Structure 1
Amino acid sequence: MATAFTQVIVGNTLEELPQIYQALEGFCSSFAVPDYTRRSILLISEELFSNTVMYGYPDEGSDEIALDISLAEGEISLVFRNHAVEFDSAASPDGPDQENAIEDHRIGGLGLFLVHQLAKKVESRRQGLANITTVTVDLNTDDE
């Protein structure tokens, strides 16, 4: 399969999330991405984007967040670039506490765990003042 690529650049507010969805949906439609994979990359993108917006800008300064979406060799790559507070998304978080009842779990902290469960690989680096997070997802042809 040939390499496919698209990019979307949005502001760092949650109101921009529909533009991310629109770019992802258009990409998936154009390149016949299977539904399971489409849903996975939507969830991954929502989690990483919303966490960046909510926790990465404590001074509420304005910034642009870029998302590159590419497809090659049976994998989709999502590359997020921003100038938020440094954060290592590649560090694999602990899963949910299996010992306690669901009512006793703290709110938050499971989104990044889910990203790691859905992704083949999560890489994060700091280049100058920019965070660059790359998430690789297999182009699944079966609903799992």
Structure 2
Amino acid sequence: MENTHNPKNVPRPKVSVNEHRLLVDPNKSKKLAAMANKLPVDLSVKALPASVPKAVSGLKSELDIELQQARGLIDKRINEIMNSLPQGKREKLFSLRFGSVAAIKSLAITAAFHKLAIHAPHTNLRVLKSVNYHGDTV
């Protein structure tokens, strides 16, 4: 008897996943429109105050410049993700999906870029592979 479930001979179909922000278009829902009208106009989330000095002592100037750029990209991406989440549950939902902000900042820069899906071809990740957000070696 032949095995018909041989995974080597059966080509697997490719799967694509699409993320949608809302299930209902806000323009088509009266309740969502009413909720949006009640909210204040400016809901921007400020990045957590960085306790990191502008220039970390002991680092090479090239590393310092790349580290500043990487910090800006990480902060920008964290703010983008936080702004896309519901206001009352931002921290909790972010930590469930990505881990805490402090944990991400303690990762190596390359790992943080991978976890947050940051694509920055102009950033020299070879220089930053052993350094975290704060400039400490990992």
TM over 0.5: no
RCO higher in 1 or 2 (8 Å CA, sep ≥ 6)? 1
* Structure number having the greater strand percentage: 1
TM-score range, shorter chain: 0.3 to 0.5
Rg larger for = 2
| Structure with the largest fraction of helix | 2
TM-score, length-scaled by structure 1: 0.37
